[in-house]
Structure 1
Amino acid sequence: MTLAIRPATLADVPAIVALMADDFNGATREDPSLPIDPAYETAFHQIAADPNQTLVVAEQNGRIVGTLQVTLIPGLSFKGALRGQIEAVRVASDLRGQGLGKQLIDWAVEHCRAAGCRFVQLTSQLNRPDAHRFYERLGWEQSHLGFKLHFEGQH
């Protein structure tokens, strides 16, 4: 199945939040109820205003079936290399396993390559073994151990 991958618009935010809530991790932290929480719209405007951020949706037959965000990160390491960070990869649960996630990741990798990134990276929560196998099948290798620090009241 071929997807139309395009920049997300404010009108897409409810569908994006619904996709994020459509898994066991997101179900506990996202709120897809309507009207959408204004915090999501504020975040969308911050992303849209940052030239190093790209939030896209994957559309199929008029339905938003996937999303991801790419961040371009300049840094001094690797002789000043630009790196791409892929976040919040989601495909509608009823369509997983049909190659849509691969199309999204391929799009993100090419986006990073075209932007001049030396490499692209992503993180995946430890409790997502299916996602880990998916990335490994695409040729990604596990290279780091990640850590998070949550601030009180900011979970």
Structure 2
Amino acid sequence: MSGLARLDGGVLLREATADDVPAVVALLTDDPLGAGRESADLAPYRAAFAAVDADPAHLLVVAEDGGTVVGTLQLSFLPGLSRGGALRAQVEGVRVAAARRGTGLGAAMLRWVAEESRRRGCALVQLTTDTRRPDAHRFYERLGYVPSHIGMKLEL
């Protein structure tokens, strides 16, 4: 299967397929926050995957090593009027398998995000990270992300 990029260590970064949904959900649930908010019912995830997959402004990516999904992220491209009509890249759902954390895989995935976002003409890459994830905050800051805004959410 061809991919978007070959990362350090031979990991293949590729677009996710419907067959990857269970592995992606497993990565989303493999932390204390995700374990409490994700569901065992794959039906809503399959429907969400179909919507993401059908929209060229959204890209669900998996990192695969030896046939095993070891990382994932969603990259969305958002046109807007602010910043002179700049296109933004929004990164969501960044996850790396527990056994692969600290190996540089997450950093390689986010370097690819920056490269792909530049290639598509984005002016910036943005993401949100839960306030209860201080390790993630340090990780993103090491990669050059700046905590420039306060994110707000309204649960519906």
Q: Structure 1 length as normaliser, TM-score?
A: 0.93
Q: How far 1:37 moved relative to its partner?
A: 2.2
Q: Please point out which of 14, 30, 33 is paired with 2:38.
A: 30
Q: How does 1:1-155 map to 2 (within 5 A)?
A: 1-31=9-39, 33=40, 36-151=41-156
Q: How far 1:95 moved relative to its partner?
A: 1.2
Per-residue deviation, residues 36-81 of structure 1 (Å, max 9, x unmatched): 5211110000001111000000001111000000010000001100
- C-alpha RMSD over aligned residues: 0.9
SS of aligned partner of 2:126: strand
CA contact (8 A) 1:3 1:103 kept: no
CA contact (8 A) 1:47 1:53 kept: yes
* Percent identity of equivalent pairs: 53
Q: How far 1:29 moved relative to its partner?
A: 1.2
Aligned-partner Cα distance in 2 for 1:91–1:28: 18
Aligned-partner Cα distance in 1 for 2:149–2:67: 38
Aligned-partner Cα distance in 1 for 2:144–2:124: 13
Aligned-partner Cα distance in 1 for 2:53–2:93: 16
Q: How far 1:139 moved relative to its partner?
A: 1.2
Q: How far 1:111 moved relative to its partner?
A: 1.2
Aligned-partner Cα distance in 2 for 1:126–1:2: 33
SS of aligned partner of 2:10: coil
Unpaired runs of 5+ residues, structure 2, are 1-8
SS of aligned partner of 1:150: coil
Unpaired runs of 5+ residues, structure 1, are none
Aligned-partner Cα distance in 2 for 1:83–1:147: 18
Letter paired with 2:34:
G
Letter paired with 1:13:
V
